[in-house]
Amino acid sequence: GAGVSQTPSNKVTEKGKYVELRCDPISGHTALYWYRQSLGQGPEFLIYFQGTGAADDSGLPNDRFFAVRPEGSVSTLKIQRTERGDSAVYLCASSSSGQGRPQHFGDGTRLSIL
């Protein structure tokens, strides 16, 4: 079936602007994760949703970052007042509930802040 879908694949914007990144998880997956990957690094955890609620948002770097998942499926990561240091690839992963379910990643959104 279809995998995790992320849009847009690339986003270029100016410093100070607001951006939204979208994630469509695998159908039926109740767990959804956002990670951020800088060049030459492994992905770093941002936030995890179980259903509609954020079960763990301890990885969000500051209050400019926010994410929602209002209906328990699609999620949107929102970044306010973007800074050049926010430039990275933002990855989304989903997992079915229950023990022993691995996380499946989308191809990410490459965000560039000019």
- Three-state SS string across the chain, please? CCCCEEECCEEEECCCCCEEEEEECCCCCCEEEEEEECCCCCCEEEEEEECCEEEECCCCCCCCEEEECCCCCCEEEEECCCCHHHCEEEEEEEECCCCCCCCEECCCEEEEEC
Q: Which window, 16-24, 36-44, 68-76, 79-87, contacts other proteins (CB under 8 A)?
A: 36-44
User: Does 87 help bind other proteins (rule: CB under 8 A)?
Assistant: no
User: Does 99 help bind other proteins (rule: CB under 8 A)?
Assistant: yes
Query: For binding to other proteins (CB under 8 A), which residues are involved?
Result: 4, 31, 33, 35, 40-45, 48, 50, 55-56, 59, 91, 93, 95, 97, 99-108
